[in-house]
């Protein structure tokens, strides 16, 4: 029951995923070079639960200038060599 690959359908899926991430207040930006992967989170309190396993391949976590980042998140970022940026 293999159906042929439909690029238009795949594009709709990708757009829906992006829409849901934006709706949830999470903006994900991956540069063309995977070494520059960045995850931006708009939450006022950033916890490990907030990040929900989205740190794979990320090099920088961007949070709001006044966001509270829990010690557990800071430890996780340190363990993964991920830079924390406040904007």
Arithmetic mean of pLDDT, 2-19 = 76
Q: 59 phi and psi, to 5 degrees? A: -110, -25
Question: Half-sphere exposure of residue 20, counting CA atoms within 13 Å on the CB side?
Answer: 6
Regarding pTM above 0.85, the answer is: no
- Mapped onto helix, strand or coil, the DSSP state of residue 2 is coil
pLDDT digit string (tens) for 40-72? Answer: 888 999 999 989 888 888 899 999 999 999 999
pLDDT digit string (tens) for 11-49? Answer: 788 777 766 766 665 655 544 444 568 888 889 999 999
């Amino acid at each position: 029951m293999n159906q042929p690959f439909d690029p238009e359908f795949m594009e709709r899926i990708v757009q829906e995923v992006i829409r849901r991430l934006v709706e949830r207040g999470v903006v994900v930006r991956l540069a063309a070079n995977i070494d520059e992967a960045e995850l931006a989170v708009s939450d006022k309190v950033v916890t490990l639960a907030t990040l929900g396993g989205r740190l794979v391949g990320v090099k920088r976590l961007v949070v709001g200038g006044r966001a509270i980042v829990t010690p557990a998140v800071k430890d996780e970022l340190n363990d993964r060599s991920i830079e924390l940026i406040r904007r």
